[in-house]
A and B are shown apart, each in its own frame.
Chain A
Amino acid sequence: MAPLDTLLAGLAREHATGALRVGRAGTIFLSEGRVTYMECAQTPGVERLLAARGRLPEAALRRLQADGGCKRLLEEGPVTLGELQYCVLGAVLDAAFFLLPVGGTRPKFRPGEQHWLGGQWYFDVAGLMRECARRRAYLAQIWPSAQLDTAPVRPAPWLPGSRVTLDSVQWEVVTGAGAEATPLDLARRIGRSGYSVLLAVRRMAAAGLLAPPVEPTTTTRAPEESATKAGEHRAKTAGGGQGALPQRGRGAAAQRPPHDPRAPGLPLGPPVTADPTDLALLMRLKKALEELT
């Protein structure tokens, strides 16, 4: 199974026009080998951004999509050409950041298909990959651990000092964060790009503004109660028993984790744990694969 970037590079070489559907994760639209639009299920698209930021309700956008398309949106909608281009640019790069590391699903290419908001900006495939890599490196430079990217955002209940400076996205993250919303949930809700929320969250972590992460066994929303109970039990025995494996204390989480430039991209789906339910799933998968051959 070829990774997505190799496949995309191939389509670029062939000057392909059409839509590459990557399972349920997203779709990449190309025109003569250049990317015109990209959708990712995890990040807010142009429609969501315009609606969430109060520019145009999603229903109005759907009406425009059905009748008149992009041309009419610019003629009568409250969006200027510059704004639309900038919005598409941001949304596509954001989708690329989260979609391109996806592997495993069998992408399907449908020639000729186009997105109604495509054609606002053309992205060269190699440039897109380079920009994604640059963004990943920048993120790691601010705060090297990718653990925060998928965990619920929990601002610290009190400040480590007496005064802080927040930028606009960080402000929205603080006001929007409940105990459960992950950075990407927040991005969709407040109408900011997923990457900008990741940046804000990692900067806040570096400034010590986030509550220390909960141990993985308790953060995962286990489907069965017995699983969480088992996790708690394990944690208790490990902490209290003599001669048990040394466990990372809560204080250690506040320290900066070691830098890992080759850290893998964001995992799709729930975080992987040593949870018995995960093991059961793996066993089932293994059995199913064995039966296939």
Chain B
Amino acid sequence: MLGLDDCLTEVMAIPGALDAMLVDQTSGMAVAISGPPHGVDAESSAAALTETLRATMDGLARSCPGETVRIDDMLVTTDKGHHLLRFLETVFEGPLVIYLRLDLERSNLALARYRLLNISRQLLA
């Protein structure tokens, strides 16, 4: 069985992975961190990512009225790389979010999404 820490190890094994983080969406807390810190404060970046996700969900709720918004994953591509976020719904709290930063040249987005889906299935049955 996959624990939260092992899950990040698996995530970092995805080709082109630069760094990864597990974020608790409710509180905006970094649950686990992996990869080189390179001057990034994990706590504040987790909190900032949470706000981004909140804003996205609010925006989607407004743009598709009459629907319950349920995000599976989210992709942001910048000139430096891809940022992939996978939402894991749990019954008691959350969602728990896997955040993965990918190298623009060395990564394969389709593969990364597929691997993240698999990892999330192993993590939460």
Tell whether A49 pairs with B1 under 8 Å between CB atoms, given A80-B123, A138-B28. no
A131-B124 in contact (CB<8A): no
B 102-120 binary contact with A (CB < 8 Å = 1; else 0) = 0000000000000000000
A169-B26 in contact (CB<8A): yes
B91 CB, nearest partner CB in chain A, Å: 4
B92-A192 in contact (CB<8A): yes
Taking CB atoms, residues of chain B closer than 8 Å to A121 are 4
B15 contacts chain A at the CB level, 8 A cutoff: no
A200 CB, nearest partner CB in chain B, Å: 9
Tell whether A81 pairs with B43 under 8 Å between CB atoms, given A90-B24, A195-B27. no
B29 contacts chain A at the CB level, 8 A cutoff: yes
Among A86, A90, A193: residue with most chain B CB under 10 A: A86
Report which of B26, B62, B91, B122 forms a contact with A193, defined as CB distance below 8 A: B26
Closest to B50 in A: A138
Interface size for B (C-beta < 8 A) is 28
A196 contacts chain B at the CB level, 8 A cutoff: yes
A270 contacts chain B at the CB level, 8 A cutoff: no
Complex Cα spacing A83 to B90, Å: 7
B2-A90 in contact (CB<8A): no
Closest to B5 in A: A85
Per the 8 Å Cβ criterion, residues 65-90 of A in contact with B are 74, 78, 80-83, 85-87, 89-90
B85 contacts chain A at the CB level, 8 A cutoff: no
Among B26, B29, B93: residue with most chain A CB under 10 A: B93
User: On chain A, which size bracket covers the interface?
Assistant: 20 to 34
Complex Cα spacing A135 to B4, Å: 22
Q: State which of A50-58, A209-217, A218-226, A271-279 sits at the interface with chain B.
A: A50-58
B 18-40 binary contact with A (CB < 8 Å = 1; else 0) = 00000010111101000000000
Report which of B3, B62, B93 forms a contact with A196, defined as CB distance below 8 A: B93
Complex Cα spacing A258 to B88, Å: 37
Complex Cα spacing A135 to B47, Å: 10
Report which of B28, B43, B65, B93 forms a contact with A90, defined as CB distance below 8 A: B93
Complex Cα spacing A50 to B65, Å: 32
Q: Chain A: interface secondary structure?
A: helix
Report which of B31, B62, B124 forms a contact with A83, defined as CB distance below 8 A: B124
B96 contacts chain A at the CB level, 8 A cutoff: yes
A86-B1 in contact (CB<8A): no
Taking CB atoms, residues of chain A closer than 8 Å to B94 are 86
B26-A165 in contact (CB<8A): no
Per the 8 Å Cβ criterion, residues 232-286 of A in contact with B are none
A192-B7 in contact (CB<8A): no
B72 contacts chain A at the CB level, 8 A cutoff: no
B-to-A contact residues, CB < 8 Å: 1-4, 7, 24, 26-29, 31, 43, 47, 57-58, 61-62, 65, 90-94, 96, 122-125
Can you show 10 pairs from A to B with CB atoms below 8 A apart? A54-B91, A74-B1, A82-B123, A83-B123, A85-B4, A86-B4, A86-B96, A87-B92, A163-B65, A169-B26
Q: A82-B4, A87-B90, A138-B47 are in contact. List 20 more A-B contacts (CB 8 A).
A: A49-B93, A55-B92, A74-B1, A80-B1, A80-B123, A81-B3, A82-B7, A83-B124, A86-B4, A86-B31, A87-B93, A89-B4, A93-B29, A130-B43, A134-B47, A135-B27, A165-B62, A192-B92, A193-B93, A195-B26
